[in-house]
């Protein structure tokens, strides 16, 4: 186990930002810390990096007790949400910083910087100042800077948060490929579930300062521990006391199946290939069903039609625990 | 009609801008420009000869040397403590921080004469708090250079801090944390990251302090006493010469003081990169202090 966090508690005044968090993050993997805004993701990451101190609990990095180690001795690469580039240094100088601090020989520094700039596709920008780079380029530079010191772990706080959707997606794929190349244990924070599901080997869901669930993307999607995790990982709707995914509901025009929920179609919205059907059940609740255009046509769903809803066989469902 | 009304609105606002400009220019002219210009005119009324003669007066050269030494010492102290205090105020949380921050502005608010008197109360060799014991060890503060440096330092204290604090706040501690996580210790972080970030604010604060220190009169006059010209600084000598009807010498020295201040400010204006904005409040305060 690469990073072990145990019983971590952090309060700001009387606000509890982390509440007895215990989690193990595996070596060599790409782990996502996923959760809503204010959930405590950055706080956890900063404590692992030594940029903040916890009120209680321990941090162990690669078997080394690190709880009271200052940030500079943890050999952790940290990439900040807003890059934190050194504004007065050129791209190459930024990347070289950690190596110069470690007093490596000049030739070695130059070689390593050239390699890293190659890796992040910034070779032709080596003499530019950070202010002359685009957001995505700055982010890659920050990544190269963190990788330069060959960190035991690489921590990224919402690495793509400030970028537009297209660049985000490119960088996300690139991060995945990069990780497959360098294999540094990597933890990145995100509040975008799609990003986490697509890129990460392992996901830690954090909410209100607590770990809700740890698992692979498939585990989390297929076997959510509770309805919070289920809701957070994708669209959900409530049907007969259960939380299910809208595409996991079968619609029938006759009351064939036992336990099906009767209702009336109140609204149909077509978005590209998908049809979104709102059904008001007989007990007054609303359920959302999504299906393909083809299926909608063959079933004969239309506004005002009487329908019976059932959760599809094998659908992921958890009991409704709290009101939305 | 429509077009005339729209132009009249346009010219109306232009008139307002022009009136405002006129008011500002007039204000600056009567308060600063004209008096300074008159000093220059008086200095060179009789050609440059009177001016060079005045500068050969040994009193004058001594006073100028003393002023420069005292000002440089005060600036060096204010540079070290100013940067340190700014870091303390911006980067650390501690009880009494707001009180300290308010206290730093005190020298701008208090009359320099009072500062001088207060220093005498503390360090006077006969009845001061520390004075007696210091005197017993042969250290003289009041009526000597250390006291003058202290008075000048006190008066110019806020200038570096008030320049550096907003820039430090603006910069945030992201870059410093990044440096830490890359292995830099506190000193390396300060030297390689923080200092380059606040460089221009420090330069500006130093130059303002220098200009202010060279011109300090009240506080220095009180602590310097009048030991037969031994502790007379340039501004104090200006007053003495003026009262002794040696106006020409007084004007010549005034001119030098004004010129030094102007050179300082021009150098900074030239050095400063376009995007650095000094805090106007302290800049004007210092300049007006000088003008008064
Ligand atoms: N320095 C601080 N002082 C007081 N409260 C803080 C401080 N830092 C964080 N908090 C609080 O702790 C909670 C967790 O903050 P944190 O930054 O870890 O959230 P996050 O999960 O990273 O959210 P986001 O996705 O918005 O970045 C928030 O409610 C925040 O208000
Ligand atoms: Mg955050």
Q: Parallel, antiparallel, or unpaired for β A185-190 and A30-34?
A: parallel
Q: Return d(Cα B91, Cα A47) in angstroms, integer.
A: 19
Ranges assigned E (strand) in chain B: none
Task: Tell me if residue A304 falls in helix, strand or coil.
Answer: coil
Please enumerate, as own/partner, the contacts of B51-58 that have beta carbons within 8 Å and a separation of 24 or more.
B51/B252, B51/B255, B53/B248, B54/B248, B54/B249, B54/B251, B54/B252, B54/B253, B55/B252, B55/B256, B57/B249
Q: Compute φ and ψ for B105, nearest 5 degrees.
A: -80, -10
On whether the CB atoms of residues A275 and A296 are closer than 8 A, the answer is yes
What pLDDT is attached to residue B228? 64
What pLDDT is attached to residue B274? 61
Instruction: Determine which of B167, B175, B178 to mutate to test the interface with A (most A C-beta atoms within 10 Å).
Output: B178
What pLDDT is attached to residue A206? 94
Q: Which among B181, B188, B192 has CB closest to A71?
A: B181
- H helix intervals, chain A: 41-49, 91-101, 106-119, 135-148, 165-182, 193-199, 217-222, 227-232, 293-299
What pLDDT is attached to residue A145? 94
Q: What confidence category does residue A78 fall into, taking pLDDT thresholds of 50, 70 and 90? A: very high
Q: Return d(Cα B188, Cα B176) in angstroms, integer.
A: 10
R_g over Cα of chain A: 24
Is A71 an 8 Å CB contact of chain B? yes
Q: What confidence category does residue A92 fall into, taking pLDDT thresholds of 50, 70 and 90? A: very high
pLDDT above 60 for A100? yes
Boundaries of every domain in chain A:
2-228, 237-319
Residue B178's nearest CA partner among A190, A153, A76 is A76
Please report the sign of the dihedral spanned by the C-alpha atoms of residue A163, residue A167, residue A168, residue A171: negative
Q: Return d(Cα A42, Cα A9) in angstroms, integer.
A: 14
Class of domain A237-319: mainly beta
Q: Tokens 């100028």 correspond to what residue?
A: B64
A215-242 tens-digit pLDDT: 999 999 888 888 889 888 888 888 888 8
Return the percent helix, strand and coil in chain A, to nearest 5: 30, 30, 35
Whole-number mean pLDDT of chain A? 89
What DSSP designation does A282 have? Answer: T
B71-121 tens-digit pLDDT: 999 999 999 999 999 999 999 989 999 999 989 988 888 888 898 888 888
Please tell me the total number of residues recorded for chain A in this structure.
324
> Please, is A135 exposed, middle or buried when counting C-beta atoms within 10 Å of its C-beta (0-12, 13-18, 19+)?
middle
Could you say which residues from 122 to 181 on chain A have a Cβ atom under 8 Å away from some Cβ of chain B?
A: 142, 145-146, 148-149
What pLDDT is attached to residue A144? 92
On whether the CB atoms of residues B147 and B225 are closer than 8 A, the answer is no
pLDDT above 70 for B237? yes
Q: Look at B24 and B142; give whichever has higher pLDDT.
A: B24
Cα separation values, A118 from A79, A126, A142, A169, A178, Å: 19, 10, 14, 20, 12
Q: Tokens 């698992």 correspond to what residue?
A: A215
B204: left (phi over 0), alpha (psi -120 to 50) or beta: alpha
Q: Out of A269-278, B45-54, B253-262, pick the least confident.
A: B45-54
What pLDDT is attached to residue B4? 43
Q: Angle at the Cα of B262 (from B258 to B268), degrees rounded to 5?
A: 150
What pLDDT is attached to residue A321? 67
C-beta atoms of B197 and A85 within 8 A: no
Q: What percent of chain A has pLDDT over 70?
A: 98
On whether the CB atoms of residues A163 and A139 are closer than 8 A, the answer is yes
Q: Which CATH code of 3.40.50.300, 3.40.50.720, 3.40.50.150, 3.90.180.10 fits the domain covering A2-228?
A: 3.40.50.300
- What is the DSSP annotation of A204-258? EEEETTEEEEEE-HHHHHHS-SSHHHHHHTS--EEETTEEE-GGGEEEESS--ST
What pLDDT is attached to residue B54? 81
Q: Return d(Cα A110, Cα A118) in angstroms, integer.
A: 12
What pLDDT is attached to residue B6? 44
Task: Tell me if residue A177 falls in helix, strand or coil.
Answer: helix
- The residue whose CA has the least distance to atom 27 of ligand 1 is A37
Please report the sign of the dihedral spanned by the C-alpha atoms of residue A37, residue A40, residue A43, residue A44: negative
Q: What percent of chain B has pLDDT over 90?
A: 34
Residue A39, ligand 1, Cβ within 6 A: yes
pLDDT above 90 for A161? no
What pLDDT is attached to residue B238? 87
What DSSP designation does B182 have? Answer: T
Which of the given ranges, B116-120, B166-170, B223-227, has the highest pLDDT on average?
Answer: B166-170
What pLDDT is attached to residue A289? 92
What pLDDT is attached to residue B49? 83
Residue A36, ligand 1, Cβ within 6 A: no
C-beta atoms of A88 and B183 within 8 A: no
Q: CA neighbours within 13 Å on the CB side: how many for A320?
A: 13
Q: What confidence category does residue B122 fall into, taking pLDDT thresholds of 50, 70 and 90? A: confident
What number of other Cβ atoms are within 10 A of residue B47's Cβ? 8
R_g over Cα of chain B: 23
Residue A12, ligand 1, Cβ within 6 A: yes
Instruction: Determine which of B182, B184, B187, B189 to mutate to test the interface with A (most A C-beta atoms within 10 Å).
Output: B182
What pLDDT is attached to residue B7? 45
Q: Compute φ and ψ for A79, nearest 5 degrees.
A: -110, 120
Cα separation values, B145 from B124, B142, B209, B224, B260, Å: 14, 8, 18, 8, 22
A258-296 tens-digit pLDDT: 778 889 999 999 888 889 999 998 888 889 999 998 888
Maximum CA extent, chain B: 89
Mean pLDDT of B219-240: 82
A28-71 tens-digit pLDDT: 899 999 999 989 999 999 999 999 999 999 999 988 899 999 99
Mean pLDDT of A293-304: 87
- Tell how far CA A4 is from the center of its chain: 19
Q: Return d(Cα B154, Cα A226) in angstroms, integer.
A: 64
Ligand 1 atom at minimum distance from A43 CA: 18
Residues of chain A neighbouring B184 (CB-CB closer than 8 A):
72, 97, 101
Residue A159, ligand 1, Cβ within 6 A: no
Q: Return d(Cα B102, Cα B142) in angstroms, integer.
A: 27
What pLDDT is attached to residue B12? 63
What pLDDT is attached to residue A1? 54
What DSSP designation does A312 have? Answer: P
Q: Which CATH code of 3.40.50.1170, 3.90.550.10, 1.10.3720.10, 3.40.50.2020 fits the domain covering B51-288?
A: 1.10.3720.10
On whether the CB atoms of residues A38 and A207 are closer than 8 A, the answer is no
Q: Parallel, antiparallel, or unpaired for β A15-25 and A3-12?
A: antiparallel
Q: Look at B50 and B178; give whichever has higher pLDDT.
A: B178
Cα separation values, A51 from A46, A47, A73, A159, A322, Å: 5, 6, 11, 17, 36
Mean pLDDT of A291-315: 87
- Which H helix or E strand runs over B155? helix B145-171
Q: What percent of chain A has pLDDT over 90?
A: 48
Q: Compute φ and ψ for A88, nearest 5 degrees.
A: -95, 10
């Amino acid at each position: 186990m690469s990073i072990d966090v145990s019983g971590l508690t952090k309060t700001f005044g009387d606000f509890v930002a982390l509440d007895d968090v215990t989690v193990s993050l595996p070596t060599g993997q790409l782990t996502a810390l996923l959760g809503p805004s204010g959930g405590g993701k950055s706080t956890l990451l900063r404590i692992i990096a030594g940029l903040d101190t916890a009120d209680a609990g321990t941090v162990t990095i690669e078997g080394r007790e690190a709880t009271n180690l200052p940030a500079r001795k943890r050999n952790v690469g940290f990439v900040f949400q807003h890059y934190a580039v050194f504004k007065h240094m050129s791209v190459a100088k930024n990347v070289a910083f950690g190596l110069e601090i470690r007093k490596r020989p000049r030739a070695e520094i130059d070689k390593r910087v050239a390699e890293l700039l190659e890796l992040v596709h910034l070779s032709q920008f080596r003499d530019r100042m950070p202010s002359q780079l685009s957001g995505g380029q700055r982010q890659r530079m920050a990544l190269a800077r963190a990788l330069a010191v060959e960190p035991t772990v690489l921590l990224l706080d919402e690495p793509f948060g400030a970028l537009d959707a297209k660049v985000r997606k490119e960088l996300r794929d690139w991060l995945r490929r990069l990780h497959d190349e360098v294999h540094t244990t990597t933890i990145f924070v995100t509040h975008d579930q799609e990003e986490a599901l697509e890129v990460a080997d392992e996901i830690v869901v954090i909410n209100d300062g607590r770990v809700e669930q740890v698992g692979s993307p498939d585990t989390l999607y297929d076997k959510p521990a509770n309805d919070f995790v289920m809701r957070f990982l994708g669209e959900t709707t409530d049907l007969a006391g259960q939380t299910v995914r809208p595409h996991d509901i079968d619609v029938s025009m006759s009351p064939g199946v036992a336990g099906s929920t009767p209702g009336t179609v109140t609204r149909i919205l077509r978005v590209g290939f998908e049809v979104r059907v709102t059904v008001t059940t007989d007990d007054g609740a609303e359920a959302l069903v999504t299906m393909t255009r083809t299926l909608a046509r063959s079933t004969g769903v239309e506004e005002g039609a009487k329908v019976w809803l059932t959760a599809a066989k094998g659908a992921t469902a958890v009991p409704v625990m709290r009101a939305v | 009609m429509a077009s005339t009304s729209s132009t009249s609105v346009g010219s109306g606002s232009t008139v307002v801008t022009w009136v405002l400009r006129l008011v500002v220019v007039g204000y600056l002219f009567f308060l600063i420009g004209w008096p300074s210009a008159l000093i220059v005119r008086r200095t060179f009324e009789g050609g440059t000869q009177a001016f060079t003669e005045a500068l050969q007066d040994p009193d004058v050269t001594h006073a100028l040397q003393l002023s420069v030494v005292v000002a440089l010492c005060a600036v060096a102290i204010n540079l070290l403590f100013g940067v340190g205090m700014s870091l303390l105020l911006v980067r650390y949380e501690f009880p009494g921080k707001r009180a300290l921050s308010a206290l730093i502005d005190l020298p701008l608010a208090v009359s320099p004469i009072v500062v001088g008197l207060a220093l005498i109360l503390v360090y006077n060799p006969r009845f001061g708090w520390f004075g007696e014991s210091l005197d017993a060890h042969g250290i003289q503060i009041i009526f000597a250079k250390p006291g003058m440096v202290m008075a000048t330092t006190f008066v110019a204290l806020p200038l570096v801090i008030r320049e550096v604090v907003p820039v430090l706040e603006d910069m945030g501690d992201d870059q410093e944390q990044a440096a830490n996580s890359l292995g830099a210790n506190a000193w390396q972080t300060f030297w390689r990251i923080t200092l380059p970030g606040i460089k221009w604010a420090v330069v500006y604060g130093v130059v303002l302090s220098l200009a202010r220190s060279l011109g300090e009169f009240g506080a220095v006059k009180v602590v310097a006493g009048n030991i037969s010209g031994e502790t007379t600084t340039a501004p104090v000598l200006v007053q003495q010469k003026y009262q002794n009807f040696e106006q020409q010498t007084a004007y010549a020295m005034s001119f030098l003081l004004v010129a030094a201040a102007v050179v300082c400010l021009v150098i900074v204006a030239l050095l400063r990169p376009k995007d650095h904005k000094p805090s106007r409040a302290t800049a004007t305060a210092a300049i007006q202090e000088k003008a008064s």
